[in-house]
Structure 1
Amino acid sequence: MTTPLIQQVACVDTIDLDLLDRVRHETLTIPDGWVTEYGEYQSGGWGTLSLLNQTGTATDVTITDCEPVATDLLAAMPATRQLLSDLGLRYMWARIARLEPGSFLWEHRDYGELKSVERHRLHIPLVTSSAAYMVLGGSAVHLSAGRLWRLTPTHAHGACNRYGPPRLHLILDCYSSPELAELANGQHLPDDAVRPLLPLTDALAHQQVEQALTLSWLGYHDAAERHLLQLYFTHELREGQVYDLLHDLHDTLGDTGTAQNWRHRKSILLGTAS
């Protein structure tokens, strides 16, 4: 596939399956302790632990530019250390991310708060299913296991796990390097990874807002917001449209404060002027 979507996400390599199995086992046997961070970006159900970071403490998960060191968690994961070493990349941060069934990462961009240097993000799926996918450029993209995926997170994107099992990904934030450039030479986007989303027509958008209004009038305010937020994962929306729908919902309800809050959240999540 050579559409603009490949600039946002692509498969760049495969992972040795024996090594991947050992990394998966190490991850599945991690004691509980996943850290919830970036709460405004998610529905809940998304937690991370760091493998490489600034402090060496796995529960420090707010990423920043640094010369990373191995965390206490990575010290107990020899197969994962081998995988990171074999890739030979210039790491900024490395995390394990867990996305529970029924959980969502809302439409957003990343790296906006970091200094302007060239960096890239790689995903290594460890446990996943077809119900777990990312949304980019109006398409649902399933990152299958056994492959190394490049994501350009400065493009608007979101992620979901509609139903089990919990999705586990190894996420590597890397600075540019010859090794990373060599990986990019083989990038491609398998056709079976991509599913176009249905367009959200004006009539359907109006219908969905009416349903959300009904939920709000019945007192189900959180359900009303989630009803609209989840449209991003089922339909092709223009960038930021889901937040405009939430603004309009609360404006119609006469709650101007919450309406303006959604306009502000849109500017934070997408890095745009409010």
Structure 2
Amino acid sequence: MATTLPAAVTTAQTGPGRAEVLGQVARLADLEESAVEQMRAEALAAPTRGVVAYGEYQSGGWWTTALMNHSDSGDPHDVVIGDGRPQPTSLLEEMPATARFLDSLGLNFMYVRLARLEPHSYLWEHRDYAELWETDRHRLHIPLVTNPSAVLITAGARVHMAAGSLWRLTPSQAHGVCNTTGPDRLHLIADVYADDTYQALAARPHLRDGDAVDLPEMTSAERAGLLERAGQLAELGFTEAAEQTLLRAFYTYALPEGGAYDLITELHEARRADADVSRWRAAKAHLLARP
């Protein structure tokens, strides 16, 4: 098995890593600029934006398209992730540079997709792989189009996955994503099984200065003010807006795990809205289920 990086990848410079987030997100390698440019051009020229899936995880605005999946028809709109040996979809067959790059990695893929996050869109705090915990797997991100407001939130920090690098995410840990101002964030995402080739690729995880920025703790006054604003929205009948106001606190403050969901529960307890309390307790349990 290969123990070195493929020709399309060069080792990145090691930076001063952050222990508190390094286990959850890290750069693995720098990519050749020409390879990224070719894949970016193919992704932007794709004839479909994809489909909106996993609606319970998002505010809307997150679109995915499969490049390798388990559909016998090769349908790129079949985006429900599962275990198995994937096949190229009809979309990947139209993206030769991307196909060559994926092949050059020599990895054991589980699923490969394009993921687009529109401006003013959020993936709420969640865990992935809860139903697939039995096999050692990892998630790789190749940012193709991004902007400074498109960030990952994990371990109380804000991380911008810059273009030009191959990144590893540990999605079984609680995390969320937002793109607050735009333009679109477009990533190539590959879920892979652990093997010797992956271990060689992932041998030098690191972060550079500025990759991760600590979020501030929420003060008691800020917490009270946030709940008051949400309560006012709910009293006016804008319940969903009230809930999303509290959900977005996850992207502003270093909350304890599930803290945004607890704020929503507290909001509805004060309103004596028992059905909403039960709904959000169930949502927290589902979205943050541990493998």
Q: Tell me the TM-score range normalised by the shorter chain.
A: over 0.9
1 CA distance for matches of 2:281 and 2:180? 26
Give the structure 1 partner of residue 166 of structure 2: 148
Give the structure 1 partner of residue 105 of structure 2: 87
The 5 Å alignment of 1:20-31 reads: 20-31=36-47
Give the structure 1 partner of residue 94 of structure 2: 76
1:227 matches 2:245: yes
Give the structure 2 partner of residue 105 of structure 1: 123
Tell me by how many angstroms 1:202 deviates: 2.6
Give the structure 2 partner of residue 47 of structure 1: 63
2 CA distance for matches of 1:201 and 1:107? 20
Tell me by how many angstroms 1:259 deviates: 1.0
Paired residue secondary structure (1:206): helix
1:177 matches 2:195: yes
Tell me by how many angstroms 1:4 deviates: 2.8
1 CA distance for matches of 2:39 and 2:277? 44
1:125 matches 2:143: yes
What code does the residue aligned with 2:52 have?
A: T
**CA offset digits 1:222-258 (Å, max 9, x no partner):** 2111110100001100000100110111111121101
Give the alignment partner of residue 67 of structure 1, picking from 85, 101, 104: 85
Tell me by how many angstroms 1:115 deviates: 4.6
The 5 Å alignment of 1:230-249 reads: 230-249=248-267
Paired residue secondary structure (2:79): coil
2 CA distance for matches of 1:235 and 1:71? 40
Tell me by how many angstroms 1:148 deviates: 0.2
Task: Show structure 1 runs of 5+ residues with no match.
Answer: none
Tell me by how many angstroms 1:5 deviates: 1.0
The 5 Å alignment of 1:149-228 reads: 149-228=167-246
Tell me by how many angstroms 1:187 deviates: 1.2
**CA offset digits 1:39-60 (Å, max 9, x no partner):** 0000000010000111122000
The normalised TM-score by structure 1 is: 0.97
Q: Say what the alpha-carbon RMSD is for the aligned residues.
A: 1.0
1 CA distance for matches of 2:209 and 2:141? 18
1 CA distance for matches of 2:47 and 2:196? 36
Give the structure 1 partner of residue 22 of structure 2: 6
1:267 matches 2:267: no
**CA offset digits 1:52-72 (Å, max 9, x no partner):** 111122000010001110001
Paired residue secondary structure (1:22): helix
Would you identify which runs of 4 or more consecutive aligned residues in structure 1 move more than 6 Å?
none
Change (3 A) 1:159 1:151: same
Tell me by how many angstroms 1:209 deviates: 0.6
1 CA distance for matches of 2:57 and 2:220? 26
Report percent identity of matched pairs. 45
What code does the residue aligned with 2:41 have?
A: H
**Mean alpha-carbon deviation: is it higher for 216-225 or for 171-180?**
216-225
